[in-house]
Amino acid sequence: MALILVAAPLSLFAQNTYKAQVVAHRGYWNTEGSFQNTITALKKSAEINAYGCELDVNMTTDGVLVVCHGPKVGDVADVQDTTFARMQQVRFKNGDGVPTLDEFVKCAKELGHRLILEVKTHPAEKRVEVVTKVVELIKRYEMENLTEFIAFNYEICKELHKQMPGSMVQYLLGDKTPAEIYADGIMGIDYEYSTLSSHINWIQEAHDLGMVVNVWTVDPADRIEIMVKNGVDFITTNQPVLAQQIIGALNSKK
């Protein structure tokens, strides 16, 4: 066995020290001609070969899932208090409109690009409806293996896990330990930079449980480097190209 290992090409053992991958927050929008949470931002995220494109999902009053952060979108005060027809009137400065989740997932499927899909917090009575519609759409496009879910609302995380067992769900709020989340079958934390910085041991705790660690929204170079060196799996950032360069440089330095 030892002889086989010695004879194997060195390249087989050339692994990156830092495994962090880059998630383009709201797509790659921080660049010419793009705008956050648009089809253009999705396409640009795929073009730079990000690990995945983060997106925000809201439901209109007439039950249509749309991709936008909200509550305010363009000249609409609250997307969740507005009809789909009204949302269709919104135009961003790059010429894009608000995509439906259907359009967004269809495009991601064509690109073969991964989605980090945030289900925004909705009133309790709408939670199951929103999650059911999201899950139905992901299954219809057979995007189960290219979709990961994130949510601030813990009940939404649990509902996603219930409706799509085995899918990657990451909790965003930062008020629970990895062990507490693991106990509910949720396999990832995606915490804000300052939260994770003040509980840096949660990275190892999560990894020991077989969970993944994502961190948002890390834009300054020094913070990206700190999180990469601390071994997070994913950096969610508005500076995805910079983050890729930093990770690449750290891995070539060793």
Chain residues that interact with Mg ion, rule: CB under 5 A: 56, 118
Q: Please identify, using beta-carbon distances, which residue of 18 and 56 lies nearer to Mg ion.
A: 56
Q: How far is the CB of 121 from Mg ion (least distance, A)?
A: 11
Q: Please identify, using beta-carbon distances, which residue of 174 and 231 lies nearer to Mg ion.
A: 174
Q: How far is the CB of 134 from Mg ion (least distance, A)?
A: 14
244, amino acid identity = Q
Residue nearest to Mg ion (CB): 118
Cis ω before 71 (30° cut-off from 0): yes
Q: Please identify, using beta-carbon distances, which residue of 118 and 233 lies nearer to Mg ion.
A: 118
Q: Please identify, using beta-carbon distances, which residue of 56 and 148 lies nearer to Mg ion.
A: 56
Q: How far is the CB of 77 from Mg ion (least distance, A)?
A: 19
CB-count exposure of residue 199 (10 Å: 0-12, 13-18, 19+): middle
HEC profile of 64-75: CEEECCCCCECC
The tokens 């990832």 sit on which residue?
188
Q: How far is the CB of 54 from Mg ion (least distance, A)?
A: 6
Taking residue 176's Cβ as centre, other Cβ atoms within 10 Å add up to 18
Do the strands 65-67 and 52-59 form a parallel or antiparallel pair, or are they unpaired?
A: antiparallel
122, amino acid identity = H
Q: How far is the CB of 176 from Mg ion (least distance, A)?
A: 18
Q: Please identify, using beta-carbon distances, which residue of 23 and 224 lies nearer to Mg ion.
A: 23
Half-sphere exposure (Cβ direction) of 201: Cα atoms closer than 13 Å: 2
Q: How far is the CB of 56 from Mg ion (least distance, A)?
A: 4
Q: Please identify, using beta-carbon distances, which residue of 18 and 25 lies nearer to Mg ion.
A: 25
Entry field: residues in the chain: 254
Q: Are 72 and 42 in contact (CB under 8 A)?
A: no
